[in-house]
Chain A
Amino acid sequence: AQSVTQLGSHVSVSEGALVLLRCNYSSSVPPYLFWYVQYPNQGLQLLLKYTTGATLVKGINGFEAEFKKSETSFHLTKPSAHMSDAAEYFCAVIPNTGNQFYFGTGTSLTVIP
């Protein structure tokens, strides 16, 4: 079964500092990879996704992620944190032969002014 690991259930950064949220997946065959953001009592908003092609993916709100097959990782970064980035972030995969999402346990991002 597919598994997704997000290291760090809580991450705090200062406003203006680098944001790094980690995600590793378990699969010998690279799946489709996603990062979603969730604000309190809201649904999931897609930040970015990797399906094929360039391994550095740019998303909305200044976020980007790099797919590293050798490390089975898809870490999310943003050069400069903004207060509005405070939210829950979920890494997810879809196996390339499947049709359902497998989600990580989420990382709560706090931005300190």
Chain B
Amino acid sequence: KAGVTQTPRYLIKTRGQQVTLSCSPISGHRSVSWYQQTPGQGLQFLFEYFSETQRNKGNFPGRFSGRQFSNSRSEMNVSTLELGDSALYLCASSLGEHRVAEAFFGQGTRLTVV
């Protein structure tokens, strides 16, 4: 059974650009959550999607957005990149409603903004 797949694994972008990260959940999982990990702020919740609908959102500016497709794959987009957006972005998938406790995490995408 394939795990959670995040692509790309590494990314370097210039300040002001935008970036799209992808997360393919475990087959059958309908919920995808995104987290940002930085040395200063630790692991912080970005948002969660379930059946193509954003169900929960963390405290991040509007430059951070996401979406989920009908096959449960999810993308997150960051526009007008800032140096502080450099981080490891992790996604987690779970079966769905009330099942977040059974989430599995992907390997993450390391974003470096220069």
Residues of A with Cβ closer than 8 Å to B?
Answer: 32, 34, 36, 41-46, 49, 51, 90, 92, 94, 98-106
Are A100 and B45 in contact, with the CB atoms below 8 A?
yes
Instruction: Given A42-B107, A43-B106, A99-B56, check contact A51 B101 (CB 8 Å).
Output: yes
How many A-B contacts at CB < 8 Å in the complex? 56
Total chain B interface residues with beta-carbon distance under 8 A: 27
Is B61 an interface position by the 8 A CB rule? no
Question: Nearest Cβ distance between residue B51 and chain A, in whole angstroms?
Answer: 13
Which residues from chain B sit less than 8 Å from chain A, CB to CB?
A: 4, 6, 31, 33, 35, 42-45, 48, 55-56, 58, 88, 90, 92, 97-98, 100-101, 103-108, 110
A106 touches B48 (CB 8 A): no
Q: Are B42 and A106 in contact (CB under 8 A)?
A: yes
